[in-house]
Amino acid sequence: MRSWPAPAVPRLPDGPRPDVRVADSSSRTLVPVPGRDGVARLYVCGITPYDATHLGHAATYLAFDTLNRVWRDAGLTVQYAQNVTDIDDPLLERAARDGEDWTALAERETELFREDMTALRVLPPDDYVGAVEAMDDIAARVVALRGAGLTYDLAGDVYFPVAAAPTFGDVSGLDREQMTALFAERGGDPARNGKKDPLDALLWLAARPGEPSWDSPLGAGRPGWHVECAAIAIGRLGPTIDVQGGGSDLLFPHHEHSAAEAEALTGQRPFAQAYVHAGMVGLDGEKRSKSRGNLGFVSQLRREGVDPGALRLALLSAHYRSDRAWTAAALERGQERLAAWVAGVARPSGPDGAALLAGVRAALYEDLDTPRALQLVDAWVAAEGDDPAAPALVRDVVDALLGVPLR
Ligand code: 5CA
Ligand code: ZN
């Protein structure tokens, strides 16, 4: 698929740089993600294109954009792949509800997402891959699993048995009861008769009347959700990656199952060095819900004339891992901040710019502490100083690491 245009990223001067570390949901520790051979491999789960881009989506993609910018600043080459779940039940359900063709819905929402990401200056993935365009590859992976004896058939559908994954549960660290509850909530089918284990997940869904399907050696049908991401990640980034990213709603079953299926396919473990999860953004009072449809959309705020830089600062003002409410006050604070920072870098001189850069690096390299980075820039703006090179440097720091142009 077409990705979106890359914004320019200023190169920052050398200086002290700690190791990049991120919170890994699997080990529940901060782990260094320095990449191998100077390459950092990043897979971030993309949208299901029927309600893009709400502010929760935006917050999650900004978190991984910060990681991408930090890695580049650290001198690593980043290989970044992202999918688009452009065929799945929720998309078909929304299209049916609105009497719209599902392909038209998916194309329109994907295009809107590209426009929103461009406006927010999110660095584009190198590989932006739709499930539909990857169909043959995904089917081939399911065929490979079947050839290895790691699947079973149920009334024409193909399942991945969790019994084939010796470390199933290690990504999320959840117990069986918790897994079973979440599986039912998040698209699984624990109660289906004939499954060997309630937690087994669909790899291939045989064609249903009235639903789209694709021919394959498995018969006509379409892929399960988890193997879509496993196949695209392996196909584009190789057998193991540095970071598997997404919102915390993807921890189980999605990332648990896609890791198990990827490991079954490649024989290499762990699939990802770190499983990194952004917190859920909701409306006041319903923090933990996905709040689909009523959370507000990036495109709507853009239409209202909100500066995308202010929106970015508002979304980065909380730590990416915290579940949080979106409020009008956060946006106002982002707008005030942007104005103050623009004025701050327009001064003929300011406090020590190299010290600010070192501080921002230290904050962001340690689990993407954007609230701390924002406070450091606030403090720099609020203080006086006689470093004539500082305003231009701080402008570049904010542009390169926080993605906000100050002009
Ligand atoms: N297509 C799948 C992933 S393969 C999917 O979850 N799509 S999505 O459109 O529902 O979500 C896209 C991304 O936004 C996912 O990483 C998801 O975890 C994240 N996300 C969804 N809702 C929120 C929210 N309210 N707050 C933060 N992140 C969210
Ligand atoms: Zn995914």
DSSP assignment of 368-403 equals --HHHHHHHHHHHHHS---BTTHHHHHHHHHHHHH-
Q: Is the sign of the CA dihedral 151, 154, 157, 162 positive or negative?
A: negative
Q: What is the pLDDT of residues 377-388, one digit of tens each?
A: 999 999 999 999
Closest-CA residue, ligand 1 atom 28, reads 56
pLDDT confidence of residue 306: 97
Q: Is the separation of the CB atoms in 68 and 125 below 8 Å?
A: no
Q: How close is the Cα of 278 to the center of ligand 1, in Å?
A: 9
Ligand 1 neighbourhood includes 278 CB (under 6 angstroms): yes
Q: How close is the Cα of 246 to the center of ligand 2, in Å?
A: 8
pLDDT confidence of residue 290: 46
Instruction: Write the DSSP symbol of residue 214.
Output: B
pLDDT confidence of residue 291: 43
* Token couple for 130: 């739709």
Place of tokens 């782990």: 31
Which domains does the chain show, CATH number per domain?
32-282 (3.40.50.620), 328-402 (1.20.120.640)
Distance CA 19, CA 41 (A): 16
Residue 97: CB partners within 8 Å, gap ≥ 6?
A: none
Distance CA 141, CA 380 (A): 52
Distance CA 354, CA 397 (A): 10
- Taking the whole predicted model, whether its pTM rises above 0.85 is answered as yes
Among all ligands shown, which has an atom nearest to the Cα of 230?
Answer: 2
Helix or strand run (H / E) with residue 300:
helix 298-303
Nearest to 26 by CA among 202, 168, 227: 168
Nearest to 122 by CA among 78, 165, 187: 78
Beta bridge partners of residue 92, listed in sequence order: none
Q: How close is the Cα of 248 to the center of ligand 1, in Å?
A: 8
Q: pLDDT means per 10 residues in the chain (407 residues)?
A: 98 95 98 92 98 96 98 98 97 96 98 98 98 98 98 98 96 96 94 97 97 97 98 98 98 98 98 98 62 77 97 98 94 98 98 98 98 98 98 98 97
Burial class (CB in 10 A: 0-12, 13-18, 19+), 13: exposed
pLDDT confidence of residue 340: 98
Ligand 1 neighbourhood includes 129 CB (under 6 angstroms): no
Ligand 1 pocket test: which of 62, 67, 249, 286 has the largest number of ligand atoms within 8 Å of its C-beta?
Answer: 249
Instruction: Write the DSSP symbol of residue 276.
Output: E
Distance CA 258, CA 117 (A): 25
Spatial strand order in the sheet of 157-160: 152-154, 157-160, 201-206, 221-223
Strand pairing class (281-283; 272-278): unpaired
pLDDT confidence of residue 325: 93
* Token couple for 45: 């789960």
* Token couple for 13: 């001067």
